[in-house]
Structure 1
Amino acid sequence: MKISHYFEFEDHVTGGIRESVVHQRKMLDRLDLQYTTKPDLDADVFHCNLMGPRSVWYAKRARARDIPVVANTHVTAEDFGDSFRFTNTLAKPLKPYLERAYGLADALVCPSAYNQGLIETYTDTPTTVISNGVDREKLAGFDSLEDEYRERYDLESPTVFLVGHVIKRKGLETFVELARRLPDLDFAWFGPLDLSLKGRETTALIENAPTNCTFTGYVDDIRGAYAAGDIFCFPTHEENEGIALLEAMTAGKPLLVRDIETFSWLEDGEDCLKVSGSGVDGFETALERLTDPELRHRLGSNAADRSEDFSLEAVTNQYQSLYEEVV
């Protein structure tokens, strides 16, 4: 079986979508399937990872040739807003575009049950939930970088941290306000920081953050973030799954998350702490609880055990089954 595993805008898209594609290709290597990363209409399956105009063009022609089309639903209108400059403006017309684009597929791959529920309001194309997975090998040896990264960014334990693009949707306002309210704790957001892509409000939040709130920008070895951070604070308002969250779990870090539907599979008090509502008070109280090292250890250990269900080894065969089903 030959797969055309196409990622439109591959040279430009970063973050979770890129990581998901990297994970998928590692899984394809494990399956020993023949695949190309170019759009190829001589393949047995045409697999799109981002339904841009070029992908739509190829998907239509694949269907005309009776080549089954598989598409990942990384992008939703709900997830697109409050991300980068102009994304709020584009989010409204994005939904009807995605409804048509996702409707071209024979099968849609959703990274979570929450995302699946959204997509089922877009199209009646059959959906399958397959996690983006977590690459445990990528994080191997992360703890050896603790001293280097704490010194580099002047961080003291317990450090509250987050990993990923610095965007408002991921709870930037909450993160900055928590740092302001808890000056005795260090806060660090590890991830790309291109202010030219940020809206005015996001830029102001970053520039006016208190001194105990560090935005590191791009990190050359992401293992350093998980080495230097102690409490993974993820106050995101909207998420399709969250690869960084799965990585934090794999690293045995306790999670503090907003109680949104995406994280319904996490158990409050067992493998995370959850905070309801849009305010900051609940997060502040939870962080004060997490200064207890015993609580951090228990939650982090449980999270690490839970993360094994999302390893690439655990996810790989689901792609094999999907390809066989559509062919």
Structure 2
Amino acid sequence: MTEVAIVATPDDGSCGVGTYAGDLRSYLDCDVEHVELHTNSTDPTHFARVAVSAGTTAADVVHVQHEYGLFGAKTLYWWVFFPLLWVSARLTSAPVVLTVHEVWDAETAGDSLRWLQLLYIRVVNLSITLVADHLVFLSETSESAFHTATPVAVQSTSRLPHGVNVGETKDVAPAEAKSTFGYEPSDTVVVEPGYVSRQKGVDVFVELADRFPDHEFLLAGGPRQAADEAFVSDLRDRSPPNVQITGVLNDDDFHDAFRAADLVVLPYRKNGQSGVFNWCAAYSLPVAGSSCDYFERVAAEWGCMQLFNPSDLDDTESVTRTLLHDDEQRRALRERMSAFREANRFERVAAEHRSLYRELAERRAG
């Protein structure tokens, strides 16, 4: 049986990448070692130890679950992790798979010294291609963005769906879930679940709530990084009375947020894939989402969400109001979301990963 060492943050609710990796491990049905990368660590020796531990493992394959922010501000500690993993993996001949959970590209760069930011993005992405023998992308959007923002052609890649973890859903009545957050069963609750950040358009969600004073709006999450704490604090100060910002939730309350939702609104500014959207699929929820590239592709293929322009609050309000008042349209979205869920269950995703691991292990042995 193939053995794999998965480098990822813990599956304790502190990081979406860690939750994804935990879900994947639970479905893999092969020997798996979890090489834990601490969430929000600023200790360079920790990144060094993890890199060497992963690279010198006895496993057949090393699989890194990568997101730039896991390695500190400006992905600083990647420059500790990457060379040590590269060297140690080459010494043991262990193939390295790297799953790309987000992509830095031209849209990531700001206006200040933009040319330097773009150069840094290209160098970081180049280093990813150097350490990885195989890259896994979770959507066509992410794959296309990475190729555009990387100065060399990437030879060995796969595109595997993020996966919908139906087995981890919670069977809680909506009324009980609403009570978790202090709502009455009769309240209409609009939810944006997940970590609170500018990229996820939570400021649009708060502005939208001001146009629906008779409905409750739940931002079910908090800041993942210290850099977002001031932003969230300002958001609280300017939120209307019908907005609740929960802070980071434990696992049970996180699932209650989905069960409490009459409608989910995801006003993301940029998105290559979405674990939150997949949880919406797991619960077959009606979703209104921004017209970012990934959601446009999902909506075009599955018809399971309604899109709006997050830069146009009138359009965002119009789509939201229509869904809140049209029971038949919400029912149709639930049915299409169920179809998306069944086609993207984690059992299928895990099977494709096992096949990839076997192929790489056999290539190494041969």
Distance 2:220 2:347 in 1: 27
Is contact 1:79-1:239 (8 Å) kept?
no
**Which amino acid in 2 is paired with 1:49?**
Q
Match of 2:312 among 279, 282, 291: 279
Distance 1:287 1:219 in 2: 25
Q: Does 1:35 align with 2:32?
A: yes
Is contact 1:254-1:303 (8 Å) kept?
yes
Task: Report the counterpart of residue 218 of structure 2 in structure 1.
Answer: 188
Alignment of 1:31-70 (within 5 A): 31=29, 33-38=30-35, 39=54, 40-50=56-66, 52=78, 53-70=80-97
Cα deviations by residue, 1:178-236 (Å, 9 ceiling, x for unpaired): 00112122110111347954264443223210011111123331221111111110010
Percent identical residues: 21
Distance 2:214 2:189 in 1: 10
Unmatched tracts of structure 2, length 5 or more: 36-53, 68-77, 362-366
CA separation of 1:75 and 1:299: change in aligned 2, threshold 3 A: closer
Is contact 1:255-1:299 (8 Å) kept?
yes
Is contact 1:232-1:256 (8 Å) kept?
yes
TM-score (norm 1): 0.86
Task: Report the counterpart of residue 25 of structure 2 in structure 1.
Answer: 25
Cα deviations by residue, 1:36-60 (Å, 9 ceiling, x for unpaired): 2232433211211237333541233
Unmatched tracts of structure 1, length 5 or more: 83-87
Cα deviations by residue, 1:273-301 (Å, 9 ceiling, x for unpaired): 11136221111001110122222111112
Distance 1:312 1:249 in 2: 12
Distance 1:219 1:91 in 2: 34
CA separation of 1:45 and 1:22: change in aligned 2, threshold 3 A: same
**Which amino acid in 2 is paired with 1:37?**
H
Task: Report the counterpart of residue 85 of structure 1 in structure 2.
Answer: none
Give the stretch that moved more between structures: 270-279 or 234-243. 270-279
Q: Does 1:163 align with 2:179?
A: no
CA separation of 1:27 and 1:170: change in aligned 2, threshold 3 A: same
Aligned-CA RMSD value: 2.8
Q: Does 1:124 align with 2:156?
A: no
Task: Report the counterpart of residue 249 of structure 1 in structure 2.
Answer: 281
Distance 1:255 1:91 in 2: 34
Task: Report the counterpart of residue 2 of structure 1 in structure 2.
Answer: 3
Distance 1:195 1:72 in 2: 21
Cα deviations by residue, 1:65-99 (Å, 9 ceiling, x for unpaired): 432111111232259969xxxxx9x9763552232
Q: Does 1:299 align with 2:333?
A: yes
Task: Report the counterpart of residue 205 of structure 1 in structure 2.
Answer: 235
Task: Report the counterpart of residue 311 of structure 1 in structure 2.
Answer: 345
Q: Does 1:115 align with 2:142?
A: yes
Q: How many residues of Structure 1 are paired with residues of Structure 2 in the alignment?
A: 315
CA separation of 1:67 and 1:254: change in aligned 2, threshold 3 A: same
SS of match in other structure, 2:136? strand
CA separation of 1:196 and 1:50: change in aligned 2, threshold 3 A: closer
**Which amino acid in 2 is paired with 1:44?**
D
Q: Does 1:139 align with 2:157?
A: no
SS of match in other structure, 2:299? coil
